[in-house]
């Protein structure tokens, strides 16, 4: 039995301990905002936060999660869209949108450690997340927008 | 080429079907896929003059997006065309995703023709409703129709008496008006457009960013089982024996089910194999890994890419079937003047859309409901019906969002798999393809070898031009014996070139197919533009000319050329090289072409190409270091697509095309060994990431009142040769074979 918290709720899991978190989230809890793209930690579509830091849920087994706290796209904000989601909408980032929840989770993780990321920081942090539609230019713009907005709201 | 709608089909009369008959039409939002949930329907509205449009008594306007959303922005651009002519307030519009239904006309979302084909229909839809609302108001007030206007949005006003009435209030009365004839409609002039040509954010952007269950992969149905399928590793392979004892021991695995191999041609039929049914995706995957299957690989086990490449190249060196001829190039070649020749090669590509194929099917007796990310919902209906021996009308296809399509999801084989398995299990079944399935069992973009030869005059301008292309054709998917490119494929950048060359011949050689071949974003234009635009660049250097100046000289002063389009297409969309010249000039100007000297690892390249009726020029800037690493700081694109519905979406499409093109050029390569595809996931089929994609892509859209063309695909073809030409400018290294990794570059 694995005990963990997902989006603030306590959960107990007694299935296959090797099951990746991704499939637990999608098939068992129904949090389908976390996407399946490769299953090998190569694309970032499945990115969620573990104790506030981005991880690849496709390559994190349930048995590794005892006592940890997971946040998915469905849990990043309790009142209205998160600042990063707002920036994404303002820049009109998505094309097909499939990668974007993973991108947003990764960006949230980036901004929590580096509130004013440089282009190089953004490249470093975001290059694990593939967007096959090619929205990278707008992702970069939206991250900068979110950083600016955050600085503005805190000043 | 029966399924693919090339330009002929794309421009055929589109249907403006009025919903006079009481045929129920269940349209659901793409996101609202859960069964049992009540989605608003056009037929339930107070006023629905068309199957595309309904107005509720509360003033909510429902507009159907009948084509597929896959990042192309159709759920925004198409409804906004209706809303514009309706003079509706966009904030009161609710977009409904159309199910598969032939009454909509073509729903096959490929060939970059959603706006092109439906622009007139959708405008007429909006204008029809507006006129009926105006007439209803005039009737209610007892004033002449001419004194009533739909202004401001969403109301009809009678300015003389200062009265207004909302669309919702008018809906019931409007429904009683006779449907006006087409001649009575007054379409707006472009200067009156509220939405067409104005940038708008995606209708679904908030839901997408919130992670709502919009995609096919997200569909969950009560009692649903999950399936993973072990497909035959070689096309046409069959199961010899299967041992599923280890599989069945896994917790969560329910059963295994054999799937019949297809009868050739493979068309959109399932590949066959063994399905593992489980109560979650992970168990199905794990169970599949544990299957012990012995395969009979069949005839295609002979497919080895290095040998096949040699064959294609050899064929390209020999005379082929003549596709088109102007003058007689052989006469020039025999004169013994200066001749330049080159060979080009481009490998297979996989689509690798971010969402691997997935579908849910629920077979209930004679009826089937399918939820599928599909570019081709009517195709899903047809193929499922055919496989299960049912009538097409008995198959409902709800269209979900697509996590990318690029042509892969026009082929409904995975939806048919779900239907077969649902029928066998008696339960709703979700088929999930892994990334490995997606890459190994794709309908691949064709591998191609090309040969070009030109005789040039003393200024280096071509007097004669011969070009041959050889590739296993898409038609082999529908006709096992097809070995020549179809007219459609030849029209994609090969039958004719947009250059002033007095003697020209295009040819096509035979190629036997060994994998499933399908269309991929811009299709044969990819390799054809690569060869032609690279060769034009080679001629420029051979003539000691600036490549941009030389390109303009090749295009000439500009005139309409005959590119063998069907007559109706040629009438509406003549190929005018003036427009091609213009985009080249715009892109070069924006790039500051010629201001900085190329060489020492820095360079710019240019290429132009018209595809899907849109004229595009790309200027790519590269930096290449000593290790061969290629950085792309800037791309300058100029686009003439006629009228554009939503410029911001057009910019997105061309930004995306540059990234897609980067993936093709840098690392895109699918190969086979003994019929088995060598690549399987993003580690050995890499696609562009943020740190290797173009940093900045500038997109200029030519203001035009020409009829709308296409925007989803045309950005890809010129990008690839522009990049390769830039690499030549920077390093002197000519890329004649894709991808760059085959040239010591990456
Ligand atoms: S699905 Fe986890 S990184 Fe791709
Ligand atoms: S928006 Fe389609 S994969 Fe990123």
- Which domains, and CATH codes, for chain B? 28-199 (3.30.365.10), 216-299+372-432 (3.90.1170.50), 305-349+443-743 (3.30.365.10)
Percent of chain A with pLDDT over 70: 99
CA pair distance B455, B283, nearest whole angstrom: 63
Alpha-carbon gap: A60 to the closest alpha carbon of chain B (Å): 13
Q: Hey, are the CB atoms on A123 and B683 less than 8 Å from each other?
A: no
In DSSP notation, B543-568 reads TT--HHHHHHHHH-S--EE-----HH
CA pair distance B585, B713, nearest whole angstrom: 21
Contact B564, B612 (CB under 8 A): no
Positive or negative, the Cα torsion across B115, B119, B121, B124? positive
Among B30, B94, B41, B93, residue whose Cα is nearest residue B67: B30
> Is residue A123 domain-shared with residue A97, that is, in the same domain?
yes
- Domain end point (choices A39, A57, A75): A75
pLDDT-derived band at B114 (thresholds 50, 70, 90) equals confident
> Is residue A102 domain-shared with residue A136, that is, in the same domain?
yes
Q: What angle do CA B16, B391, B40 make, to 5 degrees?
A: 50
Whether B488 has a pLDDT exceeding 90, the answer reads yes
Among A112, A116, A126, residue whose Cα is nearest residue A49: A112
Residues making up chain A, counted from first to last:
155
Token digits for B150? 């739909």
What is the spatial order of strands in the sheet that B93-97 belongs to?
B47-50, B53-55, B61-65, B93-97
Alpha-carbon gap: B520 to the closest alpha carbon of chain A (Å): 13
In this prediction, residue B18 carries a pLDDT of: 27
With an 8 Å Cβ cutoff, is A15 touching chain B?
A: yes
Give, in order, the Cα–Cα distances in Å from B731 to each of B316, B550, B623, B709.
28, 20, 9, 36
Q: Hey, are the CB atoms on A88 and B285 less than 8 Å from each other?
A: no
Neighbours of B19 (CB within 10 A): 18
Whether B84 has a pLDDT exceeding 80, the answer reads yes
In this prediction, residue B16 carries a pLDDT of: 28
With an 8 Å Cβ cutoff, is A63 touching chain B?
A: no
Separation of CA B162 from chain center: 49
- Domain end point (choices A27, A53, A75): A75
Please name every residue paired with B397 in a beta bridge, in sequence order, or none if there are none.
Answer: B370
Gyration radius from chain B CA atoms:
27
Q: Hey, are the CB atoms on B211 and A101 less than 8 Å from each other?
A: yes
CA pair distance B606, B620, nearest whole angstrom: 7
With an 8 Å Cβ cutoff, is A33 touching chain B?
A: yes
pLDDT-derived band at A154 (thresholds 50, 70, 90) equals confident
Q: Which one of A30, A133, A137 has the shortest CB-CB distance to B71?
A: A133
Torsion of CA B419, B420, B422, B425, to 10 degrees: 180
> Is residue A7 domain-shared with residue A39, that is, in the same domain?
yes
pLDDT-derived band at B29 (thresholds 50, 70, 90) equals very low
Q: Tell me what the pLDDT averaged over chain B comes to.
A: 93
> Is residue A127 domain-shared with residue A100, that is, in the same domain?
yes
DSSP H or E run through A43: none
Ligand 1 neighbours, Cβ below 6 Å, are: A 36-39, 41-46, 56, 58
In this prediction, residue B115 carries a pLDDT of: 86
Q: What is the pLDDT of residues B725-735, one digit of tens each?
A: 999 999 999 99
CA pair distance B546, B580, nearest whole angstrom: 18
Among B711, B669, B673, B671, residue whose Cα is nearest residue B687: B669
Cβ(A134) – ligand 2 distance below 6 Å: no
> Is residue A23 domain-shared with residue A48, that is, in the same domain?
yes
Residues from chain A that touch B681, judged by Cβ atoms under 8 A, are: 38-40, 42
Pairing of strands B61-65, B93-97: parallel
Torsion of CA B116, B117, B123, B124, to 10 degrees: 150
Please name every residue paired with B361 in a beta bridge, in sequence order, or none if there are none.
Answer: B370, B429
Alpha-carbon gap: A67 to the closest alpha carbon of chain B (Å): 23
Q: What is the mean pLDDT of residues B550-562?
A: 96
CA pair distance A27, B360, nearest whole angstrom: 14
- The CATH number of residue A30's host domain is 3.10.20.30
Q: What is the pLDDT of residues B445-462, one digit of tens each?
A: 999 999 999 999 999 999
Whether A141 has a pLDDT exceeding 90, the answer reads yes
> For residue A57, what are the domain limits?
2-75
Cβ(A92) – ligand 2 distance below 6 Å: no
**Ligand 2 atom showing the smallest separation from residue A96 Cα:** 2
Neighbours of B205 (CB within 10 A): 20
Q: What is the pLDDT of residues A6-51, one digit of tens each?
A: 999 999 999 999 999 999 999 999 999 999 999 999 999 999 999 9
Contacts of B72 (CB under 8 A, 6+ apart): A95, B109, B114, B649, B653, B711, B712
How many Å lie between the centroid of ligand 2 and the Cα of residue B403? 7
Q: Which one of B403, B652, B688 has the shortest CB-CB distance to A98?
A: B403
CA pair distance B635, A134, nearest whole angstrom: 13
Q: Hey, are the CB atoms on A16 and B252 less than 8 Å from each other?
A: yes
Q: Where are the alpha helices (DSSP H) in B562-695?
A: 567-572, 577-590, 647-666
Q: Which of B103-112, B349-358, B369-378, B428-437 has the lowest mean pLDDT?
A: B103-112
- Residue in A closest to B691 by C-alpha: A123
Pairing of strands A2-6, A69-71: parallel
> Is residue A56 domain-shared with residue A100, that is, in the same domain?
no
Interface of A with B in 64-123 (CB under 8 A): 72-74, 81, 85, 88-89, 92-101, 104, 122-123
Alpha-carbon gap: A72 to the closest alpha carbon of chain B (Å): 9
Contact B729, B605 (CB under 8 A): yes
Phi-psi region of B330 (alpha: psi -120 to 50; beta: other; left: phi over 0): alpha
Query: In 3-state terms, chain A is what percent helix, strand and coil (to 5)?
Result: 45, 15, 40
With an 8 Å Cβ cutoff, is A127 touching chain B?
A: yes
Q: Which one of A27, A130, A135 has the shortest CB-CB distance to B687?
A: A130
CA atoms within 13 A on the CB side of B303: 26
CA pair distance B204, A29, nearest whole angstrom: 24
Alpha-carbon gap: B311 to the closest alpha carbon of chain A (Å): 32
Q: What is the mean pLDDT of residues B110-129?
A: 91
Whether B12 has a pLDDT exceeding 60, the answer reads no
> Is residue A88 domain-shared with residue A70, that is, in the same domain?
no
In this prediction, residue B38 carries a pLDDT of: 59
Contact B301, B675 (CB under 8 A): yes
3-state DSSP assignment of residue B599 = strand
Token digits for B347? 């490998």
Contact B632, B67 (CB under 8 A): no
Buried residues in B90-118 as b, exposed as e (16+ CB within 10 A): bebbebbbbbbbeebbbbbbbbbbbbbbb
Pocket test for ligand 1, best of A24, A59, A98 (most atoms within 8 A of CB): A59
What is the C-alpha end-to-end distance of chain A, expressed in Å?
A: 46
- Residue in B closest to A130 by C-alpha: B689
> Is residue A101 domain-shared with residue A53, that is, in the same domain?
no
Q: What is the 3-state secondary structure (H, E, C) of B399-429?
A: ECECCCCCCHHHCCHHHHHHHHHHHHHCCCE
Q: Where are the alpha helices (DSSP H) in B252-349?
A: 281-289, 305-317, 329-334
In this prediction, residue B20 carries a pLDDT of: 26
- Is B195 or B17 the better-scoring residue by pLDDT? B195
Q: Which of B104-108, B250-254, B555-559, B675-679 has the lowest mean pLDDT?
A: B104-108
Whether B243 has a pLDDT exceeding 90, the answer reads yes
- Residue in A closest to B683 by C-alpha: A42
Q: Which one of A18, A23, A92 has the shortest CB-CB distance to B280?
A: A23
Pairing of strands B560-561, B575-576: antiparallel
Q: What is the pLDDT of residues B388-414, one digit of tens each?
A: 999 999 999 999 999 999 999 999 999
Q: What is the pLDDT of residues B160-193, one digit of tens each?
A: 999 999 999 999 999 999 999 999 999 999 999 9
CA pair distance B664, B525, nearest whole angstrom: 13
Q: Hey, are the CB atoms on B435 and A40 less than 8 Å from each other?
A: yes
Among B178, B183, B210, residue whose Cα is nearest residue B18: B178
Give the count of domains, chain A.
2
Residues from chain B that touch A93, judged by Cβ atoms under 8 A, are: 205, 209
- Domain end point (choices A75, A99, A125): A75
> Is residue A67 domain-shared with residue A89, that is, in the same domain?
no
- Residue in B closest to A45 by C-alpha: B354
> Is residue A99 domain-shared with residue A60, that is, in the same domain?
no
- Residue in B closest to A133 by C-alpha: B656
Whether B14 has a pLDDT exceeding 50, the answer reads no
CA pair distance B591, B722, nearest whole angstrom: 13
CA pair distance A57, A73, nearest whole angstrom: 12
Give the residue whose CA is nearest to atom 4 of ligand 2: A131
> Is residue A90 domain-shared with residue A57, that is, in the same domain?
no
How many Å lie between the centroid of ligand 1 and the Cα of residue A47? 7
Phi-psi region of B696 (alpha: psi -120 to 50; beta: other; left: phi over 0): beta
DSSP H or E run through B290: none
In this prediction, residue B112 carries a pLDDT of: 81
Give the residue whose CA is nearest to atom 3 of ligand 1: A41
Q: What is the pLDDT of residues B317-351, one digit of tens each?
A: 999 999 999 999 999 999 999 999 999 999 999 99
Best of B354, B634, B648 to mutate (most A CBs within 10 Å, chain A): B354
Q: Which pTM was predicted?
A: 0.95
Token digits for A25? 């989230």
**Ligand 1 atom showing the smallest separation from residue B682 Cα:** 4
Whether B514 has a pLDDT exceeding 50, the answer reads yes
Contacts of B739 (CB under 8 A, 6+ apart): B347, B664, B665, B666, B667, B668, B669
CA pair distance B102, B651, nearest whole angstrom: 31
pLDDT-derived band at B34 (thresholds 50, 70, 90) equals very low
> Is residue A142 domain-shared with residue A102, that is, in the same domain?
yes
Give, in order, the Cα–Cα distances in Å from A72 to each of A50, B402, B403.
9, 21, 19
């Amino acid at each position: 039995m694995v005990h963990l918290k997902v989006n603030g709720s306590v959960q107990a899991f007694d299935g296959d301990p090797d099951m990746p978190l991704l499939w637990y989230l999608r098939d068992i809890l129904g949090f389908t905002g976390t996407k399946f793209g490769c299953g090998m930690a190569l694309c970032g579509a499945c990115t969620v936060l573990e104790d506030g830091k981005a991880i690849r849920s496709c390559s994190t087994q349930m048995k590794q999660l005892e006592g940890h706290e997971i946040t998915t796209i469905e849990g990043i904000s309790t009142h209205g869209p998160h600042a990063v989601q707002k920036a994404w909408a303002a820049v009109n980032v998505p094309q097909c949108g499939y990668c974007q929840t993973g991108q947003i989770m990764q960006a949230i993780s980036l901004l929590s450690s580096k509130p004013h990321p440089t282009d190089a920081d953004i490249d470093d942090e975001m290059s694990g997340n593939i967007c096959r539609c090619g929205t990278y230019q707008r992702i970069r713009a939206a991250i900068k927008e979110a950083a600016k907005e955050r600085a503005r709201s805190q000043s | 080429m029966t399924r693919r709608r090339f330009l002929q089909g794309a421009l055929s009369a589109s249907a403006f079907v009025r919903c006079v008959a009481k045929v129920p039409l269940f349209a659901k939002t793409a996101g609202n896929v859960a069964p049992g949930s009540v989605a608003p329907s056009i037929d339930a509205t107070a006023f629905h003059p068309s199957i595309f449009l309904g107005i509720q008594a509360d003033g909510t306007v429902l507009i159907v997006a009948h084509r597929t959303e896959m990042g192309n922005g159709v759920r925004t651009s198409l409804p906004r065309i209706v809303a514009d002519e309706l003079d509706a307030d966009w904030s009161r519009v609710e977009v409904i995703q159309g199910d598969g239904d032939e009454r909509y006309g073509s729903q096959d979302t490929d060939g970059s023709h959603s706006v092109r084909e439906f622009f007139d229909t959708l405008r007429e839809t909006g204008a029809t409703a507006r006129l009926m609302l105006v007439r209803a108001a005039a009737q209610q007030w007892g004033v002449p129709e001419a004194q009533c206007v739909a202004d401001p949005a969403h109301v009809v006003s009678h300015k003389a008496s200062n009265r207004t009435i909302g669309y919702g209030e008018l809906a019931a009365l409007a429904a009683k008006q006779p449907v006006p004839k087409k001649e009575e409609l007054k379409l707006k002039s472009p200067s009156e457009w509220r939405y067409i040509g104005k940038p708008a954010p995606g209708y679904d952007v908030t839901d997408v960013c919130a992670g709502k269950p919009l995609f096919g992969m997200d569909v969950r149905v009560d009692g649903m089982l999950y399936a993973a399928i072990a497909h035959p590793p070689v096309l046409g392979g069959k199961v010899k024996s299967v041992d599923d004892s280890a599989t069945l021991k896994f917790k969560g695995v329910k059963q295994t089910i054999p799937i019949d191999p297809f009868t050739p041609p493979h068309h959109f039929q399932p590949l066959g194999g063994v399905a593992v049914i489980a109560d979650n995706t992970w168990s199905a995957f794990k169970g599949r890994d544990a299957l012990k299957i012995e395969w009979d690989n069949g005839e295609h086990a002979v497919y080895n890419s290095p040998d096949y490449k040699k064959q294609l190249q050899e064929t390209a060196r020999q005379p082929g079937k003549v596709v088109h001829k102007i003058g007689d190039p052989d006469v020039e070649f025999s004169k013994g003047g200066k001749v330049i020749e080159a060979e080009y090669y481009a490998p297979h590509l996989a689509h690798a859309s971010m969402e691997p194929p997935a579908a849910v099917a629920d077979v209930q007796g004679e009826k089937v409901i399918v939820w599928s990310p599909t570019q081709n919902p009517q195709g899903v209906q047809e193929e499922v019906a055919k496989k299960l021996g049912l009538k097409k009308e008995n198959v409902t296809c709800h269209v979900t969002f697509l996590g990318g399509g690029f042509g892969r999801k026009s082929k409904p084989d995975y939806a048919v798999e779900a239907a077969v398995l649902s029928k066998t299990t008696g339960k709703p079944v979700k088929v999930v393809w892994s990334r490995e399935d997606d890459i190994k069992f794709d309908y691949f973009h064709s591998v191609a070898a090309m040969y070009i030869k030109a005789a040039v005059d003393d200024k280096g301008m071509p007097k004669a031009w011969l070009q041959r292309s050889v590739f296993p054709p898409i038609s082999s998917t529908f006709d096992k014996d097809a070995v020549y490119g179809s007219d459609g494929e030849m029209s994609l950048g090969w039958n004719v070139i947009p250059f002033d060359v007095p003697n020209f011949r295009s040819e096509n050689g035979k190629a036997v197919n060994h994998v499933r071949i399908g269309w991929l974003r811009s299709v044969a234009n990819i390799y054809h533009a690569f060869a032609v635009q690279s060769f034009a660049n080679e001629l420029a250097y051979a003539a000691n000319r600036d490549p941009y100046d030389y390109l303009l000289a090749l295009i000439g002063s500009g005139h309409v050329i005959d590119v063998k389009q069907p007559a109706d297409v040629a009438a509406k969309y003549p190929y005018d090289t003036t427009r091609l010249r213009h985009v080249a000039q715009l892109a070069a100007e924006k790039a500051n072409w010629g201001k900085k000297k190329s060489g020492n690892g820095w360079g710019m390249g240019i290429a132009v190409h018209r595809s899907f009726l849109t004229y595009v020029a790309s200027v790519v800037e590269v930096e290449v270091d000593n290790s061969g690493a290629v950085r792309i700081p800037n791309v300058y694109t100029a686009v003439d697509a006629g009228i554009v519905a939503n410029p911001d979406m057009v910019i997105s499409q061309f930004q995306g095309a540059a990234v897609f093109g980067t993936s093709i050029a840098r690392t895109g390569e699918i190969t086979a060994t003994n019929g088995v595809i060598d690549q399987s996931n993003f580690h050995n089929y890499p696609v562009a990431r943020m740190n290797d994609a173009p940093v900045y892509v500038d997109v200029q859209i030519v203001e035009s009142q020409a009829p709308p063309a296409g925007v989803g695909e045309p950005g890809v073809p010129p990008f690839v040769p522009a990049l390769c030409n830039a690499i030549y400018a920077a390093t002197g290294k000519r890329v004649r074979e894709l991808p760059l990794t085959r040239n010591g570059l990456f």
